[in-house]
Amino acid sequence: MALPYLELVLGFMILMYIFETYLDMRQHSALKLPRLPRPLEGLVSQDKFERSRAYSLDKSNFHFVHEAITILMDTAILYYGLLPWFWMKSEEFVTRVGLNPENEIIHTLSFLAGVMIWSQITDLPFSLYSTFVIEARHGFNKQTIWLFIRDMIKGIFLSIILGPPIVAAIIYIVQIGGPYLAIYLWGFMFVLAIVMMTLYPVLIAPLFNKFTPLPDGELRQKIENLAASLKFPLKKLFVVDGSTRSSHSNAYMYGFFKNKRIVLYDTLIQQCTNEEEIVAVIAHELGHWKLNHTLYSFVAVQQILTFLQFGGYALVRNSKDLYQSFGFVTQPVIIGLIIFQHTIIPLQHLVGFGLNLVSRAFEFQADAFAKKLGYSTSLRAALVKLQEENLSAMNTDPWYSAYHYSHPPLVERLSALEDSDSKKED
């Protein structure tokens, strides 16, 4: 007797929606609390707290609506067989334009083009409201509607350029993979990840933002001295014009081997008037590198999980029952991948929870690393400043943060830094 795959997937989707909505309601209640957490009293101004509270509640209300509409659409698409219907319509389109519908690559690209158009149409109202209502209302949005449209067009253009060869390669590998399918797919995705990590900051990111070298001065000298003291192979130090789109701030690093770059958002420089605070943030990021967090995440987590996913897909690749449960009489490669992703949703949620636990542990370790370098006071000040300027949630529900957050709440990070300082004094 065939398993009711579709019913199982739909049931779990609905159960997860109920569970996550419960967590969202707990978080919403925490956001409505009228007072700062006690550890933040005296550190965060009342004005910033009220503004962060209003911003967080706005985002929370929007999230409830977005998630409700999303689960309704996803459930309807699966339950009413819209995927097989759209696969059939994409075949008719290929035939109508004079192409060969028996060519799975052409058929798949037609199908994915329709999916992309559908996604753009359904996502656009939410993106517009989030950017030009919520973000603008709270002083974060800096982009015009024309810049928004231009970015969207660039994104579509990149999908059109990069998508077809990647999709064609995946289909070809599945068709010839045989017993080594999982290894071949993993190898291709590994190489693709390396290529994209190399090309994205050099060719793609500059299409959306302007990267300029950090001017000579005391800040640059301090960062270069810190990198040199840790033997970090810093080759370039950039400032990115994040302020053209948002007032949110950040910093990150990228590059392989002896060719590392550090990027500072101009908003970070504007918000942290004390240069030591900016250097402390960089010290935290360098902690991730020194402690091999990036390497561990990429190799021990992403690559192993990718291989296991492809291994699972290889096992069900030829399961007629799986395809038929979702309304398909043929077994297209792209459809198999989509269906398989739906069937492992329970595992994905469990793995995501585990990855968040690991990520939060890494953040504590990176904070401790910066503290050992002598940046404890500056890092605390920077964390508070960034929390204030980004209007991040001050009150968080412990269940919600444990399930969703990849970074520990501010209260926990400050407490960890204080505890390590106390132990040092003892």
Find the catalytic residue in 367, 388, 389, 412.
Answer: 367
107 is in an annotated binding site: no
Q: Give 349's DSSP letter.
A: H
46 alpha-carbon distance from chain centroid = 31
d(CA 183, CA 274): 50
Across the beta sheet with 211-213, the strand order is: 211-213, 234-240, 260-265, 251-254
d(CA 214, CA 237): 6
Instruction: Specify the residue for token string 């810093």.
Output: 234
Quick one: which H or E segment has residue 376? helix 376-389
The count of C-alpha atoms lying within 13 angstroms of the C-alpha of 135, restricted to the half-sphere facing its C-beta, is 17
138 is in an annotated binding site: no
Helix intervals (H) in 200-343: 218-229, 266-271, 275-290, 293-295, 304-316, 320-325, 333-343
Q: What is the SS3 assignment for 140?
A: coil
288 is in an annotated binding site: yes
Q: How wide is the angle at C-alpha 407 spanned by C-alphas 403 and 410, nearest 5°?
A: 110
Q: 397 catalytic, yes or no?
A: no
d(CA 418, CA 237): 31
Tell whether the torsion through CA atoms of 381, 384, 388 and 390 is positive or negative. Answer: positive
Q: 50 catalytic, yes or no?
A: no
Q: Using an 8 Å Cβ cutoff, are 207 and 161 in contact?
A: no
Read off the tokens for 380.
């605390």
Find the catalytic residue in 91, 135, 276, 285.
Answer: 285
Count of residues for the chain?
426
Rounded to the nearest 5°, which phi and psi values hold at 240?
-105, 140
Rounded to the nearest 5°, which phi and psi values hold at 263?
-120, 125
Q: Using an 8 Å Cβ cutoff, are 91 and 107 in contact?
A: yes
Task: Kindly give the pairing relationship between strand 251-254 and strand 234-240.
Answer: unpaired
CA Rg value for the chain = 24
Q: Give 252's DSSP letter.
A: E
| Residues annotated catalytic, as ranges | 285, 367
* Binding-site sequence positions for Zn(2+): 284, 288, 363
* Binding-site sequence positions: 284, 288, 363
